[in-house]
Structure 1
Amino acid sequence: MMETFNLEQAAEFLKLHPEELRRRAKGGRVPAAKVGKCWVFLKSDLVDYLRSLYAVPRQALQVMLGKELNPCHLSNAARSGGSTLPPPMGNEYADLLAPKRNPSRRSTTTASR
């Protein structure tokens, strides 16, 4: 025999305010049935609902049999909107990173004749 809860019992089971549970049931976010004027909840459905809220375990890198399941998102940067230009080499980096300098002005008052 399946165990059923009314709104108040289900709210206590889920640790929710009854009004919040009623809103979730009405919106279809929590499995329930409205029989006449009363909400009816199956305990097994509420357990499944709770389990669906569990956090998914996350790992920094998942590796299976030496193959990466989730490769680095930067490995395909060019395909997903990154630059398609070849990277600058050697002196080009130095030129790009060097501070901008204004050309020095020659003094016209100290010029020798």
Structure 2
Amino acid sequence: MVRTLDIHEAAAFLHMHKDTVQRRAKAGEIPGTKPGRSWVFLEEDLVAYLKRLQTQPRQTGKGETLCSTNVVTPGGWISSHQAARELDALLAQRTKQPHRSCTTVSRQKAGASHG
């Protein structure tokens, strides 16, 4: 017989806060369903989820990958290399914007008006 867990039992099983479990289940990261007003989790699905976490690539402090595997996303399976490329692309977009400092601009204007 398949054992079902509510949000509190799933949180205890995963050693997470219930809000974290709820947020991740809503995002499709943790397998669960909401047939009515409450979340329901299958214990065997949570075991499989934990096993997948064990095989996900881990980074050393030097940015080196310790292992290579596939990653589950709400849209399906993608390779860890594809996920890394997508993340790098997103980070590159974010870092292209120049940093501006109001104090630097103010000092330049102040220096120009006195000179």
TM-score under structure 2 normalisation? Answer: 0.48
Larger Rg computed on CA atoms: 1
TM-score under structure 1 normalisation? Answer: 0.49
